[in-house]
Amino acid sequence: MIKILLVDDERSVLNLLRHFITSPEMEIVAATQSSEEALELASQLRPDVVISDIRMPELSGLDMVRQMKERYPDMDFIMISGYQDFEYAYHALKLGVTEYLLKPIRQSELLEALEKLMEKRREGSGAREITQTARRQRIDEENRSVRKKSWLQSAVSRALDMTDAAEEFLASPDCFDGSYRYVQGIVVKIDHFDWQEGITAQDVSKYTRDVSRYVMQGAESLCADMEYITDGNKGYILLCHNVTSEMWDTLHKRYNIYIKEENYKYEGHLTATICIGSRQETLAEAPLSFLHALITLHGRIEFGAGKILEYESRKYWNGEKLLNGEMMERYFGALQKLDEEAAVMEMKRLFETVRVPEGKGGYYYAMAEQFMELTEAELISMADTAVETEAGEGIQEVLDNCSCLEHVIRKLEDWLAERIRYYDELFHRSESKVIKTAKAFVNENYSRPIGLNETAEVVSLNPIYFSAVFKEQTGEKFTAYLQNVRIGKAKELLRTTNLPVKKVAEQVGYIDEKYFSRLFFKATGVKPAEYRKYYAQ
């Protein structure tokens, strides 16, 4: 017979456990809703098994187990929880918890766990020692796996940040087997073309895990150690191995067949691309290998998705600027007018006229990135610096499922249309830099024969569009604003100088004195000479 102590802050759970445990070989010696009280009961009753919730309001279930284990090392524990989180299970197992059950608790699972404990106790101290050794080994292995994944996440994060990936970090983690000569990063990328109905993000994530595991299985016999993590539609695999070309020959054959079969299964709507990074000699250089695998991934736009692509530095974009001011001049002209149709047309012309050097990858990705950066910078320069703007999608989000130039242009077309509409709305919503520039131009040049066309040219906007934006943001027509500035300056001259009315008219931009006088009377209700008579200083 085994003695059992029940611990849970919910009375209903305690009642349920009592209902489940009916065997004459199992005695419930006490039940409590307090973990603090459970410590006292354990001291008084010395139960064989403690069944406890992992989350308790006073002392947590894990802390309670830790204290009991220190005092009563032969005591067994079954933890129950509604939290499906590996971290809780991991810490519980590390403390020596025998079983970990998730709510809602099933009677069959609970009784099975208790039967295992009874059998273990019948086998005696020798069996106990063996069981504890096996448990420790399992915990050590799980601990090692968690540490490997954590380290791998750090390596991948550094590669994704595009920092100095070879910089020393966690140079010799003891969680990896050290009997290897090379480390190599592999990126598995799942492209979901056209987001066909019926294929969900969960399907894509599952497919990413399946392909990543398949890659691991193929390399297992050739590696001293390995680990992988996945993030949505990307998998990151680290291989620690001692072989070179023969390994990749084997994997190439295996993967090519697998990828073709999988692409056929999903009718081409889900496509797996495997990108192999550079070979490095230490784990500290693993981020560099992953960085090279990610650069290789960008090359699928030129080389095509659904393949195995291996990094070679000479095959990829070397970092030079692909777009210059002269190439972008016509495009910027359309962008400054916020002319969506013209801007999209010029964008397409740019990508269709640039020719990628034969056998080079990553050019279109780099070109798209530069195009987006230059576009955003130009739009921001058109807006008032005091106006807070929202960033658009980044290069990763825009090109995430692009595997050819056609896809790139289609995605950039959508992105560009969204950014132009956003800034168009922004300019209409608040007085932008365009309007402030226009007003400054008028206040500096009102004495010259300027008008709508000249001012629109200064701010690089179509006159019709500029007129509409000016009215939207200021509440008055541009011609009315220009006239009001000129009449205001004329009032000042009439008050402070003895210039003839004809000269005053000329200095505020009117050649015809009679026309000026009619405008002045319409604006003020008096003629220029009368205004001087009334208001001269």
Residue-by-residue pLDDT tens, the chain, 537 positions: 889 999 998 888 888 898 889 888 899 999 998 888 899 899 889 999 999 887 787 787 888 888 888 888 888 888 887 654 445 555 555 566 767 777 778 888 888 888 888 887 777 644 445 455 555 555 556 567 777 887 888 888 888 876 544 444 555 566 777 777 888 899 999 887 655 556 777 778 888 888 888 888 777 777 888 888 888 889 999 988 887 666 667 667 777 777 777 666 666 677 888 898 988 888 888 888 999 999 899 888 888 888 888 888 778 777 677 787 778 888 988 888 888 899 999 999 888 887 777 777 888 888 898 899 889 888 887 765 445 567 777 888 888 888 888 889 999 999 999 999 888 887 766 556 788 889 999 999 999 989 999 998 888 778 888 888 888 788 889 999 999 999 999 999 998 898 999 999 999 999 899 999 999 998 888 899 888 887 776
Residue 343's pLDDT is 92
Cβ(183)–Cβ(281) under 8 Å? yes
Using a 10 angstrom Cβ sphere, with 0-12 exposed, 13-18 middle and 19 or more buried, the burial of residue 190 is buried
CA-based torsion, 31, 33, 35, 37: positive or negative: negative
Q: Give yes or no for a cis peptide into 57 (omega within 30° of 0).
A: no
Query: How many residues are recorded in the chain?
Result: 537
Both tokens of residue 171?
Answer: 């140079």
Beta strand 234-241 pairing with 223-231: antiparallel
> Which helix or strand (DSSP H or E) is residue 273 part of?
strand 270-280
- Specify the DSSP element, H or E, that contains 240: strand 234-241
pLDDT computed for residue 454 by the predictor: 92
Q: Is 53 helix (H, G, I), strand (E, B) or coil?
A: strand
Which residue from 152, 153, 160 is spatially nearest to 294, judged by alpha carbons?
A: 160
pLDDT value at position 386?
47
pTM for the whole structure: 0.57
Q: What is the pLDDT of residue 165?
A: 46
Please report how many Cα atoms fall inside a 13 Å half-sphere around the Cα of residue 468, on the Cβ side: 9
Contact 240, 282 (CB under 8 A): no
**Tokens matching residue 514:** 């009679």
Radius of gyration of the chain (CA): 37
| Tokens, residue 234 | 């990307």
How far is the C-alpha of 307 from the C-alpha of 523, rounded, in Å? 74
φ, ψ dihedrals at 178, nearest 5°: -90, 0
With a CB cutoff of 8 Å and minimum separation 6, the contacts of 137 are none
Contacts of 308 (CB under 8 A, 6+ apart): 251, 252, 255, 256, 259, 273, 274, 275, 276
**Residues forming beta bridges with residue 361, ordered by sequence position:** 316
How far, in whole angstroms, is CA 472 from its chain's centroid? 36
From the list 329, 326, 333, the residue with the least C-alpha distance to 461 is: 333
Residue 309's pLDDT is what?
87
Tokens of 423: 């800034």
Which segments of 456-507 are extended strands (E)? none
